[in-house]
Structure 1
């Protein structure tokens, strides 16, 4: 009888006992019936087990030995930090794992005295074929790939055993990992710099060949960005013209030079002043008026009396506290060096004579030659005044 049959028999016996107990209590069976019921509940399962054992019969030992499979001999060995090559020279993976194997019946071959070494060699050969094709930058990804590839039992080339690996760990040496990290940072920085350089080149090309090609293109570009500031754009035409000329290394066109702003304090040249600004009328100076007066009296620039009259008039102005005007008259009409007055005339340096007697007054000295002649002719020949 199997274990399931035994369990079922015990369960049914217990259930029948409970039912009979409930029935006896409800029907008020006599006291002598209860021991009989207990004997039946114990005897019935025992009889059932005995009958089942007789029907199965004993098994021969030979049959049991034929049905038993031979035990599988399993072995394991832990290896640590074995260097495996990568796709880059001098960058090796460090392989750690637990190698498991079991021997195979290989008739006609020599016995294997070190199956552990053969199993490790088989596992490392399988792992090396994978790692030597992978770059060392992602050891964790290669580790999971090896975990899948080495998880199945595979025979060695000689067929002596089957081997596998588990608990695989794949890392790089610490200094190799630092070098790879620095190389990755340099590549990233270089990529960023390349993008920035291309962006600047594109921007310069756009500005030089499109925006600042000429003043018209610059004005259109500026209006596209500030379409609500038309008046300001018109006012900045000179700046845009200068910017365009500087970008193209050329001079500002002649037609746009008048629009260019001038630096603070810079004055336009004489040509521009004559062309753009009307002449400013200046108020005539006193020396100009006096010179015009002398010209109206017939005293030209070659007349020797002009300096003398100017000197005498300047002395009169000094008496009226008009020193500035007097100095201006002397600066413009001062008698030249070596000027000598004629006989009978006072020197130009003083209003009186050299001997200290007062000379002629300025009004008398300013008389014209004709008035002097008429006065001389009106005097009597004998030198006596009129009326005597």
Structure 2
């Protein structure tokens, strides 16, 4: 029981006690004054009590900003609106614009001029353009949410007398621009893929050209490393690997591998070879012979090498390889020099020069060794007089010779005897007597 109720109960009890005491001591006629006293005192008290129990108007104590805004909003006028549809806004790419659509809201708390609508619309567009200017056009889906969140906040203007915000914000691209960007994106992906493929190809070429095929030895080791048990097959492919290395590096095949292939071919160890090179017995230089009688087509039997014009240098190299191979072979420089002398004596000076340069043999063989070839004089050379020359001098040697043959006697003068072909020591010093 509250304090106020206890007070009223005590007052009622006191009034009842006064009535009883009055009836006992003053007589029952005094009871007539009791209702009048109660009416005079009780009615005003009852009215006062009822007035205090009415609901007062609540007055907020220490109301915060949210409550103040709520109270003010209830009393503020309804907002006005304007629809914006597909307004171009700049993007990070100057050739592609965003299309901005929204519903602009504004509320004026005091009468303003007639340009309130334009002011609110311009404010929303300026703020949206600031947000989209640095965004890529491909990211229009993400830009939409950023702009919507920024424009959803109320923007106060004119010292708070005007409030502006936007709803239903949409940021889009033109359909043709979206298609172009999708195509550019696909092309960029394809170009990146092709660049990766080219990088792999460059790496593979660098590996083969600068490592595997740098020289025939590297090529042979690489082939053997693929399967260390294929020794015989690797030996059979030395010729192919050497040629492949020479083609890849642009260098001549080293002499060591030329001699090795020629030696294996001469011993019959190579056979015909699994690669169709024909490096078997009797093939001479084997894989390095590119022409000449009996060389046959190379490179898998397609006849490509056979159709190529024979190079005399290849035949000479094959001859040098044959003469220098084996235990009783000649020195290579000696053979090259003697063959070059033979070519020069035959009038093939240019071929002799190329032949010497291919073996880096510039000077004549200086060691005192017997010549490998007897060089016969050419017909018509200054050191070989013809029979017609002798007949022009009219020395009668032919007549004496015929007489001697008919009579069985030898001619007298030994000077009239013609020189034997190839006998250089007995050649006359001049062409006439």
Q: Give the TM-score normalised by the residue count of structure 2.
A: 0.44
Q: Structure 1 length normalisation: TM-score?
A: 0.49
Of structures 1 and 2, the one scoring higher in RCO (CA 8 A, sep 6+) is: 1
